[in-house]
Structure 1
Amino acid sequence: MSTRSVVVDRPGVHRLVTGPEPVPGPGEVRVRVAAAGICMSDREVHDGRRDAAYVRYPVTPGHEWAGTVDAVGEGVGRELIGRPTVAEGFRACGACDRCREGETSLCQSGYEETGFTLPGAFADHVVVPARLLHPLAEGADLRAAALLEPAAVVAAAVRAGRPEPGERIAVVGAGTLGLLAVQLLAASSPAELTVIDPRARRGERAREFGASGAGTPEEAEELHGRFDLVVETAGAPATAASSCLLARRGGRVVLTGMFGPGATGIDPVRLSLGQLTVRSVFGAPSAAWSYAVRAFTTGLLDPAPLITHEFPLERFGEAVALVGGGDPGTGKVLLRP
């Protein structure tokens, strides 16, 4: 049997490759991919804008995915075959100090991640260690489950932010991460849940997902010092600094956006006088994945409405061009092998 995969040979150059089906090794499983999401990180890999320390060419991208186990390697129970699943992307060692503390996204053994340094899910099949699986309920919507990777990142941010009932909460950015954050934060019964995004259409979507209000960055200037918790999801040059301005004295700020060169610095005077607690999230530890999967399984989290476009593997070039293209009508773009 043969299998297809998208290979990015070098920045700007990709091809669809056909070869033999991969064989899972000891402790591994092979998953038949049902759907894989394309995010800005994948666009950066394709365009050559991702930090060289976090990508290895040639590579098959695809770190947001869901599928069904169809083969297992030595030492893995055959009862997993036929099970719908997602899996963590970071290949944490499980033995270092950070892993033993449960912070698997801070593994000290070096960076390896599915879809960036190891073959990902823009393919018919993906092979991953069985220990990284998060099996789903029978009959799970695998199309929606492909978004559980960004949902796990958001879950890490929500856990770090420790929302309490009755608090005022702001979410900066109404992209995939921001709208997923709205769903999870709404479950904490906030007194106010406001989304800040320059795109009015995205603000309307945020209300549909559970936000109590939405506004532009210009309108948000009147809200400085208002919020107990601010979850930043945009990664725009000014959003880290502006998120700190939105927080009240003694408030909490969680940064989830991926910032590039030119990002505006956070004012240290504001940090010290405001006694702010600021932390960042990069990826998601195992506990956050479990949180996201539970929220999905119980219906608290529904990523499906975020999906706006679906393409076969053969149209990867067209699909990746949509991501980050600026069209406010473009939500999550999926590849459907």
Structure 2
Amino acid sequence: MTRGSTARSVLIEEPGRHRLVTGPPAEPGPGEVRVAVRAAGICASDREVYEGTRAPGYVRYPIVPGHEWAGTIEAVGEGVDPSLIGRGTVAEGFRACGMCERCRTGQTSLCTAGYEETGFTRPGAFADTVVVPARLLHPLPDGVDLSAAALLEPAAVVAAAVLAAPPSPGERVAVVGAGTLGLLAVQFLAASSPGELLAIDPRKRPLEQAAAFGATATVTPDAANALHGRYDLVIETAGAPTTARDATLLARRGGRVVLTGMPEAGAVGIDPVHLSVSQLTVSSVFGATPAAWSYAVRAFGGGLLRPADLITHQLPLESFGEAIELVGSGDPEVGKVLLTP
């Protein structure tokens, strides 16, 4: 929340260097709203921003990070309905132009006008307040848990994957990786009545969570080698060096694979001969479209998603450094880490 006439934000001035800054809260311009942030999640891409390993062109320093968030609208700019004040909300991160060919087809995350995203090139939500275009808002039902709603950004990414290769009841489905994206994927997919729902991860605790969310089987990556060629649909969420390749090997001939993880340079490539011979359909997801956001918000409001169960740590803005270390610690007991202004 704002403190009188001032607001705080975490500013990464350059890789490895951050500070907490205080100043007047930004005023929303025409078509914009200012949101009091309730909670903002930290993910691996935020750590990349802090460490300076995010791909060139996809971050602009100095930057206030924070692209996974939820809060309450507290002020509106010219042309925005004032009845929105007081509403809980989330918002899309991509600042698409809305005019180019890709935007006109609904593929806003592929906007050809150039990459702009809250928390990477525009001030984000590791702050008391964040200002965003009202056209990007997805207001939430009254009374929802706003801390849990901070996970609707990764949920929207998973929703985009499910929309890209929609599951059918009775299919054999596998999820590679049981981090935040993977566990949200298990929840989405369990609602589609799969005949089999497998979760793959090297860590014990995430696999236990996956089983609680509806996975019918859980295995480690080594054990998954015996299951190659079995699954109608495979959703990859880990972004580890071998997981894109592994996902294609798990798919049956004629199966579908959706890649959502973001591997770093040097990851193992996918065998083109295997793709051709197996006639696989491979899709990838970068961000989420408005349709995917709407799907995720509806699923959350309807109780199909339980993102609150993924949260293990909630820290104040002052503890940003500690939160970043937690996310990169590799500790299997660390789930979703939130900053709570």
TM normalised by structure 2 equals 0.98
**Partner amino acid, structure 2, of 1:150:** P
* Residue aligned with 1:52, SS: coil
Ranges in structure 2 where 5+ consecutive residues have no aligned partner = none
Paired residue for 1:162, among 157, 163, 166? 166
Offset at residue 60 of structure 1 (A): 0.2
Which residue is equivalent to 2:37? 33
Residue in structure 2 matched with residue 11 of structure 1 by the alignment? 15
User: 5 Å matches for 1:14-163?
Assistant: 14-163=18-167
1:15 and 1:52 mapped to 2: Cα distance?
22
How many aligned residue pairs are there? 337
Alpha-carbon displacement from aligned partner over 1:278-328 (angstroms, at most 9, x marks no partner): 010000000000000000000011100000000000111001110021000
- Give 1:138 shift: 1.1
TM-score, structure 1 length as denominator?
0.99
Shift of 1:209: 1.0
Counterpart Cα distance in 2 of 1:220 and 1:302: 26
How well do the aligned residues superpose, as a CA RMSD in angstroms? Answer: 0.6
Q: 1:268 & 1:324 partners in 2: Cα distance?
A: 33
Distance in 1 (CA, whole Å) between partners of 2:97 and 2:290 is: 12
1:237 pairs, out of 231, 237, 241, with: 241
- Pairing 1:193-232 to 2, within 5 Å after superposition: 193-232=197-236
Q: Secondary structure at the match of 2:188?
A: helix
Alignment-mate amino acid for residue 224 of structure 2: A
Per the TM alignment, residue 139 of structure 1 is displaced from its structure 2 partner at its CA by 1.1
Give the alignment partner of residue 188 of structure 2, picking from 178, 184, 201: 184
Amino acid at match of 1:331: G
8 Å contact 1:200–1:215 — kept in the other structure?
no
Distance, in Å, in 2 between the alignment partners of 1:171 and 1:221 is 14
In the alignment, the residues of structure 1 paired with residue 79 and residue 285 of structure 2 have an alpha-carbon distance, to the nearest angstrom, of 33
Mapped to 1, the partners of 2:238 and 2:140 lie a distance apart of: 29
Structure 1 distance, partners of 2:128, 2:202, is 37
Q: Deviations over 1:69-125 (max 9, x none)?
A: 000001101001001000000001111111111111111111000000000000000
Deviates more, 1:193-202 or 1:25-34: 193-202
Moved over 6 A (4+): none
Letter in 2 for 1:152: A
Map Cα deviations across residues 111-154 of structure 1 (whole Å, 9 max, x no partner): 00000000000000000000000000111110000000000000
Which letter does structure 1 place at the counterpart of 2:284?
S
Deviations 1:210-248 (A, max 9, x none): 100000111001100000000000000000001100000
Task: Indicate yes or no: 2:319 matched with 1:321.
Answer: no
Q: Could you list the per-position Cα deviations for residues 174-208 of structure 1 after superposition, in whole angstroms to 9, with x for gaps in the alignment?
A: 00000000000011100000011111222111101
